[in-house]
Homo-oligomer: A and B are copies of this chain.
Amino acid sequence: MIELSENGSGFGNNSRFPYYYGPGGRLVLVDSALEAVNKGSTTIGIKTPAFALLSSHIKPTKPLVDPAEKIFTIDEHIGATGSGYIGDILQLIDEIQLAAQKHRLTYESPIDVHSLAKHLSSYLHNYTIYAVRPQAASIIITGKDQTGVQLYQVDPSGTFFRGAGFAIGQYSDIALDVIQKGYGADMSMEQAVQLSNKAIEKALGERPLVETGVVTAKDGSFKKLVNN
């Protein structure tokens, strides 16, 4: 027997087609996407006025397999990293590389970091409206434009944040806690790299392999660091 209780209107109503909302108005598919992100590689972004740094834990792969690239150059002055399903991250990286290229072709000038983050936000949001799969990846974007060094985080729902310290992926709460406590706006890049490594190490309980990329206010071009 299927009984639907009188007070089932909150949940019961929402439990069928089209299935976008769950109890309390939660976006259930986006929540699932975020669950997947929370199992991704621990990934960090740190910004000071002088520079910004992206660092992502490289999960131990099988021997003879190169670790997957986690730090991506988007344009000369912009880099990005992400956490979540690798297939989804790759698609989003492609999307913003393309957007940066199109901007150069159309306006004959480099895209600013805010516009790129907003573009990605809008692109991700679109996947939450129709009966397709919201993308299971959060992306951290950094870059240097006329407003200085910028750091953004964009989530599967299309929400984006600007800030000086982000952590996404597995145990990111632990990693973020380390960064918040150790952060100083006057840190040297070396100190920031050490802070980032310490944060990922604390999160994972072991000294991990990481990939790192940086952009400085002075130089203005995004560069991947040689792995240590």
Closest Cβ neighbor of A164 among chain B residues? B64
Say whether A131 contacts B4, CB under 8 Å: no
Say whether A128 contacts B122, CB under 8 Å: no
A37 to chain B, nearest CB (A): 8
Q: A2's contact among B3, B10, B161, by CB below 8 Å, is which?
A: B3
Say whether A27 contacts B66, CB under 8 Å: no
Q: A4-B15, A24-B35, A176-B62 are in contact. Are A133 and B122 (CB under 8 A)?
A: no
Say whether A163 contacts B66, CB under 8 Å: yes
For chain A, residues 143 to 164, give those with C-beta under 8 angstroms from any C-beta of chain B.
Answer: 153, 155, 157-164
For chain A, residues 123 to 137, give those with C-beta under 8 angstroms from any C-beta of chain B.
Answer: 124-125, 127-133, 135-136
Say whether B21 contacts A19, CB under 8 Å: no
A51 at interface, CB cutoff 8 A: no
A30-45 interface code vs B (CB 8 A; 1 in, 0 out): 0111111111000000
Say whether B128 contacts A131, CB under 8 Å: no
Cβ contacts under 8 Å, A2 to chain B: 1-4, 12, 15
Q: Which of A66, A85, A135 has the most CB of B within 10 A?
A: A85
A19 vs B122: C-alpha distance in the bound complex, in angstroms?
Answer: 23
A37 vs B32: C-alpha distance in the bound complex, in angstroms?
Answer: 20
Say whether A28 contacts B1, CB under 8 Å: no
For chain A, residues 7 to 23, give those with C-beta under 8 angstroms from any C-beta of chain B.
Answer: 9-23
A2 vs B162: C-alpha distance in the bound complex, in angstroms?
Answer: 43
A139 at interface, CB cutoff 8 A: no
A142 vs B78: C-alpha distance in the bound complex, in angstroms?
Answer: 31
Q: Which 5 A-B pairs have the closest CB atoms?
A: A87-B158, A25-B36, A64-B165, A25-B35, A21-B32
Taking beta carbons and an 8 Å cutoff, which residues of A are in contact with B? 1-5, 9-29, 31-39, 61-66, 68, 85-88, 90-91, 94, 118, 121-122, 124-125, 127-133, 135-136, 153, 155, 157-166, 176, 179-180, 183
| 10 A-B pairs whose Cβ atoms sit less than 8 Å apart in the complex | A1-B3, A1-B5, A2-B15, A17-B19, A18-B29, A22-B32, A25-B36, A25-B37, A62-B180, A88-B125
Name 20 extra pairs, CB < 8 A, besides A12-B15, A25-B36: A2-B2, A4-B15, A9-B28, A9-B31, A10-B35, A13-B19, A17-B131, A18-B18, A18-B29, A21-B32, A24-B36, A64-B183, A65-B164, A65-B166, A68-B159, A68-B160, A88-B125, A90-B160, A129-B132, A131-B132
